[in-house]
């Protein structure tokens, strides 16, 4: 396993630019300047006030950033639009590639280590964040920006050979669709709360307008469907939530094998449901 010092030695090809690789290698970084750290500290204070109850609950909590107050998003923009994030992303792509922020999918994440066979168990088990590993060009890069965390949990980025116990002010960049990763640790109520931002960026050729729109649409559609199922079934209580939770975890395991396998599973379940309804009606 490596850390950020080893990543600096990645062969980036001519003029410091890597070819349009099918896999974005995970990167590690930190916000070191006092001004940015002050922004992070202010956001943590606001979150601790606004989400006091959620911070005490066991299930993980996701909140779309676009639903937060404008003044809070203005502070968040100073992090997710920072040059340190964007430059670290672009250094692995050709010079004609550009970043299209996917801010409609960006989230505040209160992470509580939770393995109860519900929808959020997949956040800690081995998984890919997305299932579009066959994207023909470019990548979706996710930034994990740690607003508050201690070193009791370690994130393993298996495809990049990188692991890191993230602490406050640090960030990690990973390939949303092509990085198998997981979290190692165990729940301790006395640990510092783990609060982070999940921010997503589509990276594609500058002049590929229609391709970029198609990739955005595909990524957004899959993202919302998967997220809705995970949120519905986290810490399941009803039979329906248990069923959806099992489907989420089965789809995650199958996606680790190949992205088309869970799609085939869901298609089979849909056909079976339609067949069953038709049998009842006719």
pLDDT digits (tens, 9 = 90+) for 223-265: 888 888 888 888 788 999 888 888 888 888 888 888 878 777 7
- Show the tokens assigned to 70: 């404008």
pTM equals 0.84
Per the prediction, the chain carries an average pLDDT of 85
- What's the residue count for the chain? 282
**Does residue 6 register a pLDDT over 50?**
no
State yes or no: pLDDT of 101 exceeds 60: yes
> 47-63, pLDDT tens digit by residue?
999 999 888 877 788 99
The confidence band for 278, taking pLDDT boundaries of 50, 70 and 90, is: low
CATH topology for the 4-281 domain:
Jelly Rolls (2.60.120)
Q: How would you class 9 by CB atoms within 10 Å of its CB: exposed for 0-12, middle for 13-18, buried for 19 or more?
A: exposed
Q: CA dihedral defined by 157, 159, 161, 165, rounded to 10 degrees?
A: 0
Q: For residues 118 and 122, give the distance between their C-alpha atoms in angstroms, rounded to a whole number.
A: 8
The encoded tokens of residue 54 equal 């959620």
Domain ranges of the chain: 4-281
């Amino acid at each position: 396993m490596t850390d950020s010092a080893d990543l600096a030695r990645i062969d980036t090809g001519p003029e410091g630019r890597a070819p349009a690789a099918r896999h974005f290698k995970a990167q590690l970084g930190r916000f070191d300047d006092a001004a940015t750290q002050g922004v992070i500290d202010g956001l943590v204070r606001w979150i601790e006030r606004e989400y006091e109850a959620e911070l005490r609950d066991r299930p993980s909590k996701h909140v779309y950033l676009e639903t937060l107050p404008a003044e809070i998003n203005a502070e968040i923009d100073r992090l997710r639009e920072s040059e340190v994030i964007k430059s670290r992303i672009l250094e692995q792509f050709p010079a004609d590639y550009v970043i299209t922020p996917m801010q409609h999918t960006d989230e505040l994440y209160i992470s509580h280590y939770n393995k109860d066979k519900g929808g959020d168990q997949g956040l800690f088990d081995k998984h890919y964040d997305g299932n579009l590993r066959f994207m023909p060009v470019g990548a979706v890069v996710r930034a994990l920006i740690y607003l508050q965390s201690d070193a009791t949990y370690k994130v393993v980025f298996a495809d990049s050979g990188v692991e890191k116990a993230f602490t406050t002010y640090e960030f990690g960049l990973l390939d949303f669709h092509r990085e198998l990763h997981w979290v190692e640790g165990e729940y301790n109520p006395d640990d510092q709360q783990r609060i982070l931002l999940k921010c997503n960026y589509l990276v594609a050729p500058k002049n590929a307008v229609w391709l970029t729109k198609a990739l955005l649409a595909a990524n957004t559609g899959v993202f919302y469907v998967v997220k809705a199922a995970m949120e519905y079934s986290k810490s399941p209580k009803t039979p329906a939530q248990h069923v959806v939770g099992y489907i989420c975890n089965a789809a995650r395991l199958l996606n680790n094998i190949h992205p088309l396998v869970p799609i085939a599973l869901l298609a089979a379940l849909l056909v079976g449901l339609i067949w069953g309804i038709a049998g009842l009606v006719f």
